[in-house]
Structure 1
């Protein structure tokens, strides 16, 4: 033992000032071995724990995987059931949809056929109407052609003096005949000097008749229009205007000399112009002619002015007729006033009867009021229970007092 201790105590290494013995080195190695052993045991324990934990986790994961697989299988089964249900529903819906689409296609086909039939019928009707309108248009075109021919004839008429006068007289006669009653005018009447005016209008109140002339000089006017349309020189237009002015002066002088007869015709005559435009042109560009016509007591009138003049004459005739019938109206008014007087007298008598009846009703009401008051007074009387012997004088006095009171009340009433 001592040798072992000696051996263990022998120094075997020196590090700086520190000396290490064999025992220290062996003790250190033993400690190091123990530490290594402990570390190895700890490592083995940890690895065993890790393997156990890994095995547990693997088992848990396997269980979870199995559970998930079971859930997936269940979900797949449910999904297959749902898919089959959906397939059945889709099949039923598809069948219903096919049936609905078939019905709608049939209905749509029927509607389209009906619409096509209606459109065809409407097209035929429109074509028939179009043909009718085309026929009307053809008729109107024929009428226009006929009217154009008539216009040409009218132009030919207006180019002739006699036929032009007949045209102007026709317009004048239509205006006069529409505005005046029969017997208020005459056409083509012969005057004392042998002239025959186009129209003579009878005036009221014994006044001389009014003469109307319808023969308007249109040749110079047509020459003015022709010069303006041909765009000729101003000299040609002035010459046409001068000729028109000269024809108007001649015509106005002829009307004044032939138709204004003292005591036989009115002191004013009408010269009828059958066109409003010509009338306006004369008043605008030929003012001296208008002045000379006024001095000659010839009034130039257009169709509208002649119509207005005829209406005024008609009003004067109506007024004259009313004046002629004034005595009849006055007699009727006198008889009407007599009837009114008799009605007033009878109304006054009826008023007297009503007044008397009202007075009688007031008297009856006064009497009824008195009777009511007396009845109230009788109800207000009081009778006592005193002995008959003692009560007689008092009753007599009371009765006298009551009679006196009633008399006083009657006198007051």
Structure 2
């Protein structure tokens, strides 16, 4: 009913107003037809009295019709006003609701946009972390590949074990207490020689553990391969132990025990767990198998021995310094006694000074009391001399 059909001179025309205008035009057309009919009847009434009565009736009906038309027009205007006010109220309510919905929609879109931006920011941060982790994993895989390439080559693997052993010794000991690749009297070169104090023989350390057969043990897929790998490992390990015992255990030049450095704790644990016979064989050959942790512990023990030896070498100097220290303490004691006697004499002098100051203060108070007595006596004599003067004046 309130739908706008078209605009007339800038004013919107609704369906209701169009219907009202159509009804009015219909009533006007009916009224015109009735008037035309009345005129015809009047023309006929001049000749027919019955027609005159009928015309009278028609006129009465016409007056009633006009009255009804007026009432209908008033009602239609009232309805148009009511519909117009209701239409404006409805439009205002609809506009208010649309504004509220637009405001809520804007706030919701703003909150959604903020949440989306925050989620995207967190997503970018996590992607950056994942990217860094991926780069770290890539670098680590490259390093593992390099380590595998190092361990697959005998010379580079020996250099790797030598590097770990050198790093441990360099971190724990002074440079003058060890030497790398030192030459012995039989022209053999142990990987490291630890120089012990008091002219004691050096301790030889070897860092070339045979890992080829050990890797065969780990890569064995069948019982036959496992047996072959175990036999090969026992053969290579026994040969290496024999070489260390023959080359590095020289009486009077090196200790009667040498170290075989294993650069991996896992290899050391598996060796002691599965090849106890080889470990016992190495002990009988006076070759001690050490892992990185055991080498560090051994180095700490050697450091303690070196420290004790150095302390014993410097014992006479320490005794001389202790004697000088005792004489210094005795002189200090004498000087403290003299200082104490000086303080005692100073305290006595201070007590005497305090006694003298006390006497002086007492005498000054007595003098002050005497002066006050003389002043009061002079004041009394002056008052007595002045009293007879008024009597003399009266006389």
Q: TM-score range by the shorter chain?
A: 0.5 to 0.7
Give how far 1:310 is off.
Answer: 1.2
| Corresponding residue for residue 127 of structure 1 | 120
Displaced runs of 4 or more, over 6 A: 354-364
Of residues 146, 149, 167, the one that matches 1:153 is 146
Q: Deviations over 1:150-196 (max 9, x none)?
A: 32232222122111111111111111111112222221222221111
| Uncovered stretches (5+) of structure 1, i.e. residues with no partner | 1-101, 365-413
What's 1:217 paired with?
210
Offset at residue 218 of structure 1 (A): 0.7
* Aligned with residue 312 of structure 2, among 323, 326, 335: 323
Question: What is aligned with 1:195?
Answer: 188
In the TM superposition, residue 118 of structure 1 has moved relative to its aligned partner by 7.5
Structure 2: unaligned runs, 5 residues or longer: 1-95, 354-395
Which residue of structure 2 aligns with residue 264 of structure 1? 253
Q: Give, in angstroms, the shift of residue 303 of structure 1.
A: 0.7
More deviation, 269-278/130-139: 130-139
Deviation at 1:337, TM superposition (A): 1.0
Is the partner of 2:193 in helix, strand or coil? Answer: strand
1: CA distance, partners of 2:205 / 2:121: 55
Greater C-alpha Rg: 1
Cα shift readout 1:267-296 (whole Å, capped 9, x = no counterpart): 211000111121112222222212221121
1:139–1:351 distance in 2 versus 1, CA, 3 Å: closer
1:320 to partner: Cα distance: 2.9
- State the Cα distance separating 1:332 from its structure 2 match: 2.6
Written as runs of structure 1 = structure 2, the 5 A alignment for 1:12-411 is: 113=107, 120=113, 123-124=116-117, 127-227=120-220, 230=221, 232-233=222-223, 235-350=224-339
Shift of 1:202: 1.5
CA distance in 2, matches of 1:276, 1:310: 17
**Which secondary structure does the structure 2 equivalent of 1:197 belong to?**
coil
The whole-number CA distance in structure 2 between the counterparts of 1:128 and 1:322 is 65
TM superposition shift of 1:138: 2.0
Q: Distance in 1 between matches of 2:289 and 2:165?
A: 13
Q: Note the C-alpha offset of 1:252.
A: 0.6
Pair 335,122 (structure 1): closer, same or farther in 2 beyond 3 Å: farther
TM-score normalised to structure 2 length: 0.57
Cα distance in structure 2, aligned partners of 1:120 and 1:182: 66
> Aligned to 1:314, what secondary structure does the other structure show?
helix
Q: Distance in 2 between matches of 1:363 and 1:314?
A: 66
1:309 deviates by 0.8
* Alpha-carbon spacing, 1:353–1:143, altered in 2? closer, same or farther (3 Å): closer
RMSD, aligned CA: 3.5
- Post-superposition CA distance 1:204-261 (Å, at most 9, x none): 222121111010011111111112xx2x22x442332222122111111100101111
Alpha-carbon distance change, 210 to 123 in structure 1, aligned in 2, over 3 angstroms: farther
Distance change >3 Å, CA 321–CA 120, structure 1 → 2: farther
Give the distance between the partners of 1:158 and 1:189, measured in 2 at CA.
25
